[in-house]
Structures are given as structure tokens and as C-alpha cells.
Amino acid sequence: MSDSESPKKEVVYRGIAVSPGVVRGQVYVYRPQEVAIEKRSVRDDDIAGEFVRLEQAVIKTRQQLIEIPQHIGKEMGNDKPGIFDAHLLVLDDPMLMEQVFKRLKTEKLNVEFILHEVANKYAQALAKLQDTYLCERAADVRDVSRRILRNLAGAEHDELQRLPGPRIVLAQDLSPSDTALMDRTKVLGFAAEMGSRTSHTAILARSQGIPAVVGLHEIGREITSGQEALLDGYTGLLIVCPSQETLYEYGQIEIRWHSIEDRLSSLRHEPACTRDGCAIRLGANIELVEEIKTAVEHGAQGVGLYRTEFLFVNRQEFPTEDEQVAAYSNVARAMKPHEVIIRTLDAGGDKVLRGGEHSREANPFLGWRGIRFCLDQPEMFKTQLRAILRASAEGNIKMMYPMISDLQEVKRANELLNVCREDLRREGKPFNEQMEVGLMIEVPGAAMIADVLAEHAAFFSIGTNDLIQYSIAVDRGNERVAHLYAPTHPAILRLIRNVVAAARARNIWAGVCGEMAGDPVMVPLLLGLGVNELSMSAVAVPAVKYIIRSMSMSDAQALAEQTLRCGTAGETATQLENFARSVAPELMELIRPNKP
């Protein structure tokens, strides 16, 4: 792909910042060569040969997926990152391969065509789901199937290892294997039309320190290789053909950024303590053990939310007890001496488990999900509870139930937990008898009866993402109403205050593990409302710690009282931003610069 002449007019594209950093250089538009998929009939005598071709391609793909982590193992802190274990699970998914074999026998068509159709159908089904995590697993299916198809055709996989020079890579989508195999000496950063902060590609970018922006919709045809660009991984901007004025502005901003980044980095081992001596525990939200390295590097003091859904998706059968014990124990050992809070399976409704056996629901977010799903499948739930209990022998594990809506659910879950405890005692298997069990408060009804629930919990963790959606009836994924999604809505503030007050009355702690916890502008309000634990994406920890150390708790409490009198979300947002700029102007320049 040859570089072309660059036009001179500056164009700014806005996306989602997923990995921090600012870089400038020529664009390389990456359009991976797609294997031509022809549809052709196969004679009966050739069907066996098609089976052999597919098996050989799968074997080669497996070897490649085993070798890829070796390119990034040292940087990721693990010789075999779980991201590519997930790809191997796709490769081993019996449902996927059985469909290919079945159609090959019955339809007698070439294996490339059948694999392409089956994988696309599977990926499209995942991509249509409302659950962000499972939507992003569609990319894993596409990545693996594309790799098999290339191996069937004998095509190359290494275009991003042969760049003509230092480049900002622009693509419609970048798979985890694309990202892993990039030549880090030549890839300045990357921008993609698709993706989100929680995709495996974003996780890899952050782990390898590659500035990245995703969600830049439909720009691939407007930009050509060779154009000059500036990529801003802090604010999510791609500026093509930046003007001299923009370059000067970024030069000045970059000086200030480096200064504040140095200060953020110096806080890594410092406590998150306000100026008047109030300590706040900061944890990281994770789903893979590989993310712990990043969490520790950014100063997290534990894992405030360990999502377990990863172990259950893309499988024909639920994971065994021993598999789960190993996964949970690995996370606990890696995070010692800090705590790890494991969330029991938050699945059901729109989430695909065990080959998608669930019936479709008209309104899955109000349906069979979270604790409801688990209580309806007690054997599966007991297997997970036993695994968490056994892993708790590590000494630093806590557990919480998701999507609690009434007291009866808590009692039923605890009854099963007690059965598991008795069974493990009888079997002589060690576990922590004092393991704390908490509740996630994500449903407005639960927030309103928090005083009742508090009598049966060791702690509360407020999941603000769902709490906001349920409280003000806004689906963040619906473009028509997403602008109405408002963490600063007065109702949300009052619900959080109610939960915290109930926790304090019972002498238990209350934390927040939704996106509000990782937003430095929202943090003073949460602390002022009485929240004493925050869990967030690891990369957000330094900025949150910085603003905590820049303010006093008394000021945060006064801010909370002031915002509770606001009548609209907009009024509250203005109050919070003004406060953040008054106590941490340098930080605000980094995370929410007024220019460019």
C-alpha cells in the first residue's frame, strides 16, 4: 500500500479514548486482505478431503494462537495471556465446529464458504446483544474465523509487522492478534472505527502502552495512507492534517500533560487520602488476570470488581469447580496482599451461555438475569459458590451477589452458600470461614430498601451504570435517548445517599464500582455522599487518586449538600466541574481540556 500526498485542510474526528498518549506521524490505513470466499459444490468423494483441510487449518491456527502471546508475554507480565486463551476457547467451541461439520456433510459445499457463514452468523448474534461484554466477544469469533480462513487459503498474517516506517495505524477494526503482532518500533498509535474501552484490543493497547482511539465511525474511506495526523489518546481525537495552530496548542498542552503525568506517576504508591486525613480505598475492575499488572502499576489497592462471566461464555458446558478455583486463586495470589471482590455470575436474559439455550426475552434487562438466573440454576450456582469459597483460602477474597432486588433473593443465596460451606467442611476442603459477602445495589428498589438489606450484608457495592439506567429509564446503547443518560440526575444522588446512610447505620462500608467511580469530576460528590471505596478501570486510578489528594473531605461534604439542592442534572454537572477545576486545574486540563 503506497503512501499518497496529504491534503492541507485540518479535519478532526472524535472517538473513544482507550489508551493514553499523544503521537504525531503519517497514517497507515490498514485494510487486511480478505480471503475471497467462493461458493462451490463438493463431490461426495471430496468431503473427506474438505474435513482434512479444515482440521489442518485449525491445527495451524491453534499453533499461531499459542505463539502470539510470546511476542507480548514480557510486556503483559504473563507467558500466556488469557485474552488468547479466549481465542483458543472459540477455536475449541464444539457448537461452532459441529455446525461446520454438519453443514459440510448435508450441503456438500466447500469448507471455506460454510465456515464463513457459520462464524458470521455466530458473531452477528453476539454483536446484537445488549450486553457490552458479549457484544465485544463477537470480535474474538471474527478474529479466529478470519485466521482459519487465511490458513485455508495460505494467506499472510503479518502486514502490521512490515510497516514502511513509524505510522499511526488506522483500521475499520483491529483484532487482538493484529494488536499483539504490531511492530512496536513502528506503530506510533492506532485508531479504529469499531471498538470500546473494554474490548480485548483496548486492553492490549493499554498493556503495551500504545496510544489508541476507537469508535471513529466511517472514516476509513476519507483518509489515505501518508496523510499527517495527530492522535490524542487522552481525549479521543484523531486530527488529520493538523494546522500549525493545532500543533502549537498541542505542543503547549503536551508540556503541561507531561508535568501532570509525572505527578500522577509519583502518586502510585501514595495513599488515596484527602487533605484532612480521610483515606479512601481505590480498587480496579477486571475480568482477566492479566489486567492485574496494569492495576498494580497504576496504584490500585485491590480488585473491587472481578467479573466472572468470562469463564462461562463461548462454552457448551459450564466451567467446572476446579477450573473456577484455579482462575479465582490466580487473581487472589496476583493481587496479594490487597483484597479481591468476586462478583458471582451476572448473566442471563440477553447473555449467551451454554450455546445460547436461553429463550429470547422481549425485555432482557428486566428479565432473567443476575441473581435470578443463578437462583433458578442452583447446581450451577453452588459450583461457583464452592469454587469461590475454596479460593478464599488465599485469605484476601470477598464475594458479592449482583442485581439484588429484594431480601428473599439474599436469603436464598445465603442458604445455598451455607450448604456449600457445610459440604466443604465435611469434605475437609479449606476455605475462609470469615469471608465477607456483600450485595451489589443496581436496582432502584434495592436502593430504597437498603436499610433492610444492610442487615444481611458485609458491604454494599453500588453499580451506578445499571442504577442510572433503571432509575431514569434510559438505555445508554440507544442513540436516540443516550444523551439523557445522566449520572448527575437528582434522583441518582438521592438513591446513593440512601444506600450510604443505610450502610453507615449498620456499620458496614459502601463502595461504587460503576463508571462514576472512575470519573474525577464525580468523585468529590461520591465522597461527600459518604462513599468510602471506589473501584474503576485501572487506568483511571491515578487521576482519581490525584483529585482525592487535592481536596478535603469537608469541602466534598459541602459540595454534596450543595448539589443535593440542585433541581436538574445540568445544574449538578456544572457545580461538579467547577469544583474539580478549582481544586485540581492541572488534572482537568489533562482529562477535559478546553482546547483544542
Within a domain: 572: no
Could you tell me which residue, 310 or 48, shows the higher pLDDT? Answer: 48
Three-class secondary structure assignment of 556-577: HHHHHHHHCCCCCHHHHHHHHH
CATH number of the CATH domain containing 172: 3.50.30.10
Give percent of the chain above pLDDT 90. Answer: 47
- What local confidence, expressed as pLDDT, does residue 568 receive? 95
Q: In terms of Cα–Cα distance, which of 70, 71, 63 is closest to 87?
A: 63
Domain tally for the chain?
Answer: 3
Q: How far is CA 540 from CA 207, 232, 517, 591, in A?
A: 14, 16, 9, 10
- What local confidence, expressed as pLDDT, does residue 366 receive? 65
Q: Residue 287: which residues within 8 A CB-CB, separation 6 or more?
A: 133, 198, 306, 307, 309, 310
Strand 459-462 relative to strand 437-441: parallel, antiparallel, unpaired? Answer: parallel
Q: What is the DSSP letter of 186?
A: T
| Whether residues 162 and 127 fall in one domain | no
Q: Which of 111, 129, 153 represents a domain boundary (last residue)? A: 153
Is residue 79 very low, low, confident or very high in pLDDT (cuts 50, 70, 90)?
Answer: very low
Return the sign of the alpha-carbon dihedral for residues 422, 424, 428, 432: negative
In the sheet with 212-214, reading across from the earlier edge strand, the strands are 11-14, 237-240, 228-232, 22-30, 167-171, 187-192, 212-214, 16-19
- What local confidence, expressed as pLDDT, does residue 410 receive? 98
| Whether residues 149 and 162 fall in one domain | no
| Whether residues 136 and 79 fall in one domain | yes
pLDDT greater than 50 at residue 2: no
- What local confidence, expressed as pLDDT, does residue 78 receive? 43
CA count, 13 A, side-chain hemisphere, 404 = 32
219 φ, ψ to 5°?
-115, -10
Give catalytic residues, as residue numbers.
200, 513
Within a domain: 570: no
User: Model pTM greater than 0.85?
Assistant: no
* Residue located via cell numbers 486482505: 33
Within a domain: 5: no
Q: Which of 230, 262, 294 represents a domain boundary (last residue)? A: 262
- How far is Cα 285 from Cα 517, in angstroms, rounded to an integer? 10
Within a domain: 235: yes
| Structural domain boundaries enclosing 127 | 44-153
Is residue 351 very low, low, confident or very high in pLDDT (cuts 50, 70, 90)?
Answer: very low
Within a domain: 580: no
Residue 495 pairs in a beta bridge with none
Task: List, for residues 146-167, the tens digit of each pLDDT value.
Answer: 888 888 887 765 667 778 899 9
User: What value does the mean pLDDT take over residues 522-546?
Assistant: 94
The amino acid sitting at 556 is: A
Could you tell me which residue, 118 or 405, shows the higher pLDDT? Answer: 405
Task: List, for residues 305-334, the tens digit of each pLDDT value.
Answer: 999 987 886 566 889 999 999 999 999 999
Residues 403-424: b if buried by 16+ CB within 10 A, e if exposed: bbbeeebbeebeebbeebbeeb
- What local confidence, expressed as pLDDT, does residue 455 receive? 97
- How far is Cα 517 from Cα 537, in angstroms, rounded to an integer? 9
Give percent of the chain above pLDDT 70. Answer: 83
Is residue 513 very low, low, confident or very high in pLDDT (cuts 50, 70, 90)?
Answer: very high
Q: Tell me the pLDDT of the chain averaged across its residues.
A: 84
pLDDT greater than 60 at residue 579: yes
| Whether residues 451 and 472 fall in one domain | yes
Could you tell me which residue, 73 or 279, shows the higher pLDDT? Answer: 279
| Whether residues 183 and 290 fall in one domain | no
Task: List, for residues 213-252, the tens digit of each pLDDT value.
Answer: 988 876 767 788 999 999 998 888 999 999 999 999 888 8
User: What value does the mean pLDDT take over residues 27-44?
Assistant: 82
User: What value does the mean pLDDT take over residues 107-128?
Assistant: 83
Q: Are 392 and 435 in contact (CB under 8 A)?
A: yes
Within a domain: 3: no
Q: Which of 227, 262, 297 represents a domain boundary (last residue)? A: 262
Task: Spell out the alpha helix ranges (H) of 154-243.
Answer: 176-180, 200-208
| Whether residues 182 and 196 fall in one domain | yes
| Whether residues 534 and 514 fall in one domain | yes
- How far is Cα 377 from Cα 356, in angstroms, rounded to an integer? 15
- What local confidence, expressed as pLDDT, does residue 156 receive? 66
- What local confidence, expressed as pLDDT, does residue 359 receive? 47
| Whether residues 378 and 418 fall in one domain | yes
Three-class secondary structure assignment of 462-513: ECHHHHHHHHHCCCCCCCCCHHHCCCCCHHHHHHHHHHHHHHHHCCCEEEEC
- How far is Cα 178 from Cα 426, in angstroms, rounded to an integer? 50
Within a domain: 594: no
Within a domain: 583: no
User: What value does the mean pLDDT take over residues 4-26?
Assistant: 81
Q: How far is CA 140 from CA 84, 88, 122, 217, 266, in A?
A: 9, 10, 11, 20, 36
| Whether residues 340 and 412 fall in one domain | yes
Is residue 74 very low, low, confident or very high in pLDDT (cuts 50, 70, 90)?
Answer: very low
- What local confidence, expressed as pLDDT, does residue 461 receive? 98
| Whether residues 331 and 312 fall in one domain | yes
Task: List, for residues 266-275, the tens digit of each pLDDT value.
Answer: 888 899 999 9
- What local confidence, expressed as pLDDT, does residue 134 receive? 60
Q: What is the DSSP letter of 34?
A: P
User: What value does the mean pLDDT take over residues 500-516?
Assistant: 95
| Whether residues 536 and 458 fall in one domain | yes
User: What value does the mean pLDDT take over residues 173-182?
Assistant: 74
- What local confidence, expressed as pLDDT, does residue 369 receive? 74
Q: What is the separation, in whole angstroms, between the first and last Cα of the chain? A: 32
- What local confidence, expressed as pLDDT, does residue 218 receive? 67
| Whether residues 463 and 525 fall in one domain | yes
The C-alpha cell that represents 328 in the structure block: 479465582
